[in-house]
Structure 1
């Protein structure tokens, strides 16, 4: 969400269940079990549609830990590298930036018959860059998932919707921004799943909303991982990126590995 690489959280990891991972840009409502931890490393590249914006390289690490039943702690650290905007491509100074995010995910209900699984995610984030002062924002997201097709090759629908609020906006910078994403996750094998997501993010300086469609594949090496993933996406609209590509590797520990 926003200009953030958001990592998928596991939907199912039991040895006798097919893999079904949350698609790119989606946070599922299922919290990491008590005594379980996950670590995810990721790389992605985003190509700007206009030369007045930045092409960005992004590297990130995310960790999750189950605290109590239905509640986990999520930490992520992102670094971004790319030319300053606006820029002529052959003269661009490369600038560093990034963000640190800490949040909690609370699973409100488990899926039961017609009732979907519901949850909420709240986080505080500090963003920083070479040419701007650090900024802080708070984020709140409603989380939903519902299995559409049961059985050995399940298909699930997922939804995120929420709000992000800057605590110290700069002049002409929008303080509050909405964000939403919908997705489908499909298991295609015991250790493989596919994901398709569509995300809408309100941007901070009056641009049109950023719209991205992303598809990916997730594959678990053995019963307990690691889980490798890769995918690509495209922007829709003049103020959306031209395309993006991503790759991730996730390790599961403790109760998360046997979930």
Structure 2
């Protein structure tokens, strides 16, 4: 509750400051800019070549200013992470830049009398741009600490609850993301991810084989604050009963409450959740707080909609850009 009030207060103060700054800038611009340029009014659509600077060619100073403006634009690019939701974004990291994402998730589930509690710590994803529109991705969920509790009978025939621990390291993934198309008209922004999960984890956590996956990503900005997006994925994972084909999909709605707070709600599902079992359906929501231009903090909470999905999960995380 205190966190909610703090975030709302932050948005209110941000709005007041933004409005005051806009009024000051508008007044200063009106006082400093003449009603017409020295060479007469510039009509909309007039070619830049009509100005003296364009006719004579850009000077070295003009090129320097242009370069500075380009660098400033790159620095002002918004930080877009692939967390905390399940849906991967269509944005890619710019060439020469690095983005670290990570966090922690607690998961609880109960099925057929068996209860599990899991703590996953690290959830690391390193993204780096290699060319405009293409990034490399290195992922690792990190350490997983699982406690299993289930009913059993003692040697004397009494009902007891047994408890086991399955702790270990998870598999690593390598892959890429390629931006395919910008949003235009009714067409959403498009991208694709290709990835391989490598059997680098502990015996209790690793699939034991190389597992490929392809994700088709889309997003659509409805206005400056509201956007929707989703993924259509196909993977061939190795489960407890062997390798199988698994489709998955997601749909997320994001809303920018203010400059320092974005919230989302999302559905995602796996079809099926495991070989020979039912599909798993989950809903979740959360928020992201941009602390600086290159640092974001996030929180998420989700619940399963059927027996196959995890009953509950919650997590926190970060994204930082260099």
Pair in the same fold by TM > 0.5: yes
Q: Tell me what 1:94 maps to.
A: 166
Q: Which has the higher contact order (CA 8 A, sep 6+)?
A: 1
User: Does 1:244 find its partner at 2:313?
Assistant: yes
Match of 2:258 among 149, 170, 189: 189
Contact 1:20 1:185 (8 Å CA) reproduced = no
Pairing 1:70–2:140 present: no
Structure 1: distance between partners of 2:260 and 2:76: 9
1:159-217 superposed Cα distances (whole Å, 9 cap, x missing partner): 10111113xx4773342111111101111111210011111012223221111111011
Matched, 1:38 2:99: yes
Instruction: State whether residues 150 and 163 of structure 2, in contact with CA within 8 Å, keep that contact through their aligned partners in structure 1.
Output: no
CA apart distance, 1:54: 3.3
Q: Structure 1 216/21 Cα, relative in aligned 2: closer, same or farther at 3 Å?
A: farther
**Are the aligned partners of 1:20 and 1:192 in contact in 2 as well (CA < 8 Å)?**
no
Q: Secondary structure at the match of 1:129?
A: coil
Name the SS of the counterpart of 1:112 in structure 2.
coil
Distance 1:21 1:100 in 2: 19
Q: Which residue of 1 aligns with 2:28?
A: none
Aligned residue number for residue 57 of structure 1: 119
Q: Mapping of 1:77-226 within 5 angstroms?
A: 77-78=140-141, 79-84=143-148, 90-127=162-199, 128-131=201-204, 134-148=208-222, 150-151=223-224, 154-166=225-237, 169=238, 172-201=241-270, 202-222=272-292, 224-226=293-295
Runs (5+) with no aligned partner, structure 2: 1-73, 153-160
* Larger helix share, 1 or 2: 2
Question: How far, CA to CA, are the matches of 2:306 and 2:239 in structure 1?
Answer: 26
Contact 1:174/1:204 (8 A) holds in 2: no
Q: Is the 8 A contact 2:126 2:138 kept in 1?
A: yes
Measure, in 2, the Cα distance between the counterparts of 1:130 and 1:86. Answer: 21
In the aligned structure 2, how far is the partner of 1:206 from the partner of 1:129? 24
Equivalent residue for 1:229?
298
Distance 1:105 1:85 in 2: 39
- Alpha-carbon distance between aligned partners in 2 of 1:93 and 1:38, rounded to the nearest angstrom: 33
Larger radius of gyration: 2
Point out the structure with the larger strand share.
1
1:13-32 counterparts in 2 under 5 A?
A: 15=76, 24-32=85-93
- The farther-off stretch of 201-210 and 56-65 is 201-210
How far residue 242 of structure 1 moved from its aligned partner, in angstroms, is: 1.0
Counting matched residue pairs gives 234
How far apart in 2 are the matches of 1:172 and 1:240? 18
TM-score for the superposition, normalised by structure 2 = 0.66
Q: Which runs of 5+ in 1 are unaligned?
A: 1-12, 254-259
| Residues 220, 171 of structure 1: alpha-carbon distance in 2 compared, 3 angstrom cutoff | closer
Post-superposition CA distance 1:12-57 (Å, at most 9, x none): x97497x776651011111111122110121001101324363221
- TM-score w.r.t. structure 1 length? 0.81
**How far apart in 2 are the matches of 1:170 and 1:192?**
38
